[in-house]
Structure 1
């Protein structure tokens, strides 16, 4: 049996467009989705207790804990009978309440779905989280997986998709109470605009409705037959040019990076390496795209300090002043070790403390960048 070496082997682009089914162990409530809209769906995030109270008109911390515990028990199931594929992922991985703040950690799969070109983005997972009608996500999936501009759905299929069984005897009731609100929801939150026509077994007014034709309003694209992911990789490889000797290795590494973390992240890494290194481009790019480095810098910082410093001592002082000015968590006594003072030009280091990490990119004769990550 072949050994699975890494997570990439589980995230297979070949699954996309097949019989992928996305479901929930427990349905998301409107309050869950409202919560998502008030925060950035990134790996590490935080929100003040006062803001949380304001959103839900709450006064007790116990109610906040109850809400977050319920959310942690809601998992997403992704499966495919055709490919014998099944995975269960949680939305909220963990949370911590410390003084006046709630610190949130979302799962890698959920945060990946918000990165353009990633596996979970291509499944449409991020849109499903925001659909408001109870069973919008089922019809959305059916349409999303089909990928055709015109889709016929029989009444029997529609009842199955919406899980309504024999209720709503008349099509008029299905149309008014479910179909129209769901199509509006998919348009507003699922980024797919559709029109529909009723298909009858005759021309007369009382003819039986057999099903509906859904027509996708297709936006104009430059080339609908091309794979945007491969196009992005080709552009990045062209930028790297003669700096790359092991072409196939770097090409595969970029595919893996885009699959898990999205196109924007891969572009940032290539631009960063080309800008900051004059030699050993291939070596530094591989280091920049390794798992350890990705884990440190994949998320957007909560605060950024950009400034030119005359010395590392001045940098140290400015960082402490910046923390005080922005009311950031106080650092432990040993946060700044000898590591900071051994930094060389164009080097980076990440210093970690209990409630915060600080990533420093030092440019001796230019602007240095200090990024603050709260958790």
Structure 2
């Protein structure tokens, strides 16, 4: 299951109620017993007799399996999420497949958003520090080829909830940026750039190319220092080069809070800034590694 060329899909997409159910139970155990009243609430059962309506919904869930393929979409394995369920008095006991005890699959089953699992795999399967996803690929992943004309709506309704899923449930240290033609507000959006954060992973193994520990009176001083560091690293003091770097940094740096870590990636460098208002701020700069 650790093979990066393995992809996990569902025979049929899980419904919101099914995902809510999986988050509400402990799937670390192969057998779980749940009270009927709890299930009625999760599956929003209102029609009488409720137990019959619930059984219909559980049967739909029972029919869905996980499909594992290789990078060429060749089938490697297929198995049920739920092996069986049975009613006893006021309870239902569920027997889950032993395959879902895998940590990666458990997280995929716990995601709130419908397509979080696809981004999760894209990120884990990539060895790049920066993952570029074009608008066409983004629409394919989200299955919105014919809907959502505006990127604003894609971001608000899909991307932001998905990335919240990935950072909380998926426990990934990531952020994304819009990949645009130019820096002006109405610039055409080409896709998104997913940046793997260094806070708890890569930076522990990769040495920074530059480190500075210094106390700053205010954010303006910190901003000015970062601009000077960038000029020295690039060896380029031209207005255009510094303008593009600064335009993206500007918004981020003046929104940073005390004891917060900001990770800002621009072209070949990633800046990691642990800002501390009354203590020395730590600035680390890493050179981005790209696949050959």
Asked if TM exceeds 0.5, the reply is: yes
Q: Which residue of 1 aligns with 2:282?
A: none
Structure number with the higher strand fraction is 2
SS of residue matched to 2:175: strand
Deviation at 1:56, TM superposition (A): 4.3
Distance 2:202 2:141 in 1: 33
Given candidates 9, 21, 24, the residue that maps to 2:10 is 24
Say yes or no: does 1:181 pair with 2:171. Answer: no
TM-score computed with the length of structure 2 as normaliser: 0.61
Q: Which residue of 2 aligns with 1:312?
A: none
Say yes or no: does 1:138 pair with 2:118. Answer: yes
1:34-73 counterparts in 2 under 5 A?
Answer: 34-41=20-27, 42-56=29-43, 58=45, 60-73=50-63
**Count of aligned residue pairs for this structure pair:** 201
Distance 1:43 1:78 in 2: 20
Deviation at 1:188, TM superposition (A): 2.3
Q: Which residue of 1 aligns with 2:149?
A: 169
Change (3 A) 1:204 1:38: closer
Q: Which residue of 2 aligns with 1:93?
A: 83
Q: Assess if the C-alpha contact under 8 Å between 2:43 and 2:54 holds in 1.
A: no
Q: Which residue of 1 aligns with 2:275?
A: none
Deviation at 1:27, TM superposition (A): 1.4
C-alpha distance after superposition, 1:278-319 (max 9, x if no partner): xxxxxxxxxxxxxxxxxxxxxxxxxxxxxxxxxxxxxxxxxx
1:225-264 counterparts in 2 under 5 A?
Answer: none
Query: Which protein shows a greater Rg?
Result: 1
Change (3 A) 1:57 1:155: closer
C-alpha distance after superposition, 1:33-80 (max 9, x if no partner): 222233221212212324333544546211221121111011111111
Change (3 A) 1:176 1:223: closer
Q: Which residue of 2 aligns with 1:267?
A: none
Structure number with the higher helix fraction is 1
Say yes or no: does 1:76 pair with 2:56. Answer: no
1:351-370 counterparts in 2 under 5 A?
Answer: none
RMSD (CA atoms): 2.6
Deviation at 1:223, TM superposition (A): 9.8
TM-score computed with the length of structure 1 as normaliser: 0.49
Q: Assess if the C-alpha contact under 8 Å between 1:43 and 1:108 holds in 2.
A: yes
C-alpha distance after superposition, 1:74-122 (max 9, x if no partner): 1111111448442111111011112232121111101x22xxxxxxx2x
Q: Assess if the C-alpha contact under 8 Å between 2:18 and 2:43 holds in 1.
A: no
SS of residue matched to 1:129: helix
SS of residue matched to 2:68: strand
Q: Assess if the C-alpha contact under 8 Å between 1:149 and 1:215 holds in 2.
A: yes
Change (3 A) 1:48 1:166: closer
